[in-house]
Chains A and B, each alone.
Chain A
């Protein structure tokens, strides 16, 4: 008999009350919540948590949020982008304060995950807040020993509205100085002299930035559902094997 506890799978996924330990703004619309979770069992890069808000009258709202922090980090971090007409994200971005409790359950998911030991090459494609679980993968990669990293080249293509909407911008610019190659595509405004892409992700861009299919990259695509579906279709058109492409749809916006 396998002892499930011994392999890190608790028998039941319970709701836990975490405490907001820190918050910081990433952009005008995105905020990172650093949570203290008693008895957090640890997680893998790419996993998410469910968040539950319960009103005094018992009304509940539940949403999923990817884990931004890598498995190596002792804290649990989420990054939430505010949708002005949304139900849950404005609360998480504007109302929740340090010291407040937040109900979560997780870590969730065994499919949209990546460990450096699985190898590469790794091609990450993000739209908007879809960068969050991919950042956990980049951070996990950055924390890996050099000899492991050498065999796993990483490329990231990240599409955002404007440069100010690029979440984790400083860290990504540093990442491009480590081994990972980071390419940005701005879809609305770009600063004068912008050297990156200034259009939505298209086939030519995926061919320029990603590896050719014959190098069998592992591809992770995350962001708003329309972006994820269009990128996944283009990757298949280019010749990538569908089973090497993993997707995480965030819904209508994101």
Chain B
């Protein structure tokens, strides 16, 4: 079920994202391939937690990132990210 009450912030997916990204990316700025808006990954809306997640753009609802686990594999579809800017050091999150 993907009700509104179940959704989380992209921030909650930080642990899962670290399975594929070497750097912390919840503070990274992502440009949505759907609408072009730029926002920290932590502000995307996360649906489903744990084995499989979808991170959606809060502006246009595009599925920015999909990540799933199947035995032996981690699958990442990041086709909703047009551009990603990742801070190299864990300094305070991008102060917009």
Contacts of B50 in A (CB 8 A): 61-63
Contacts of A112 in B (CB 8 A): 9, 11, 26, 42
> B93 near A251 (CB under 8 angstroms)?
no
> B49 near A64 (CB under 8 angstroms)?
yes
> B9 near A247 (CB under 8 angstroms)?
yes
> A249 near B8 (CB under 8 angstroms)?
yes
Question: Contact string, B1-43, partner A, CB cutoff 8 A, digits 1/0?
Answer: 0011111111110111011001111110000000000001111
- B8, B40, B88: the one contacting A111 at CB < 8 Å is B40
Interface residues of B, dominant DSSP = loop
> B89 near A252 (CB under 8 angstroms)?
no
Question: Contact string, A137-154, partner B, CB cutoff 8 A, digits 1/0?
Answer: 000000000000000000
> A118 near B95 (CB under 8 angstroms)?
yes
In chain A, what residue has the closest Cβ to B50?
Answer: A62
Contacts of A49 in B (CB 8 A): 15
Task: For the complex formed, measure the closest distance between the CB of A200 and the CB atoms of chain B, giving whole angstroms.
Answer: 16
Known: A50-B15, A105-B15. A110 touches B24 (CB 8 A): yes
Question: Contact string, B42-77, partner A, CB cutoff 8 A, digits 1/0?
Answer: 110000011100000000000000000000000000
Contacts of B51 in A (CB 8 A): 62
Query: What is the bound-complex CA distance between A44 and B91, given in angstroms?
Result: 10
In chain B, what residue has the closest Cβ to A14?
Answer: B18
- A106 contacts B by Cβ under 8 Å: yes
Query: What is the bound-complex CA distance between A62 and B50, given in angstroms?
Result: 6
How many of B's residues come within 8 Å of A, CB to CB?
36
- A2, A109, A113, A224: the one contacting B88 at CB < 8 Å is A2
In the complex, which range does the number of interface residues on chain A fall in?
35 or more
In chain B, what residue has the closest Cβ to A218?
Answer: B95
Known: A118-B95, A243-B96. A109 touches B11 (CB 8 A): yes
> A225 near B4 (CB under 8 angstroms)?
yes
Pick out which of these stretches binds chain B: A4-12, A16-24, A181-189.
A4-12
Chain A 63-101 interface residues, beta-carbon cutoff 8 Å to B: 63-64
Task: For the complex formed, measure the closest distance between the CB of A115 and the CB atoms of chain B, giving whole angstroms.
Answer: 6
- A9, A44, A48, A63: the one contacting B23 at CB < 8 Å is A9
Contacts of B40 in A (CB 8 A): 111
The 9 tightest CB contacts between A and B, nearest first, are A111-B42, A110-B27, A13-B18, A108-B14, A50-B15, A243-B96, A111-B26, A252-B5, A110-B24
Given contacts A11-B22, A48-B14, 8 further A-B contacts (CB under 8 A): A13-B19, A62-B49, A109-B11, A111-B42, A111-B43, A246-B42, A248-B12, A249-B8
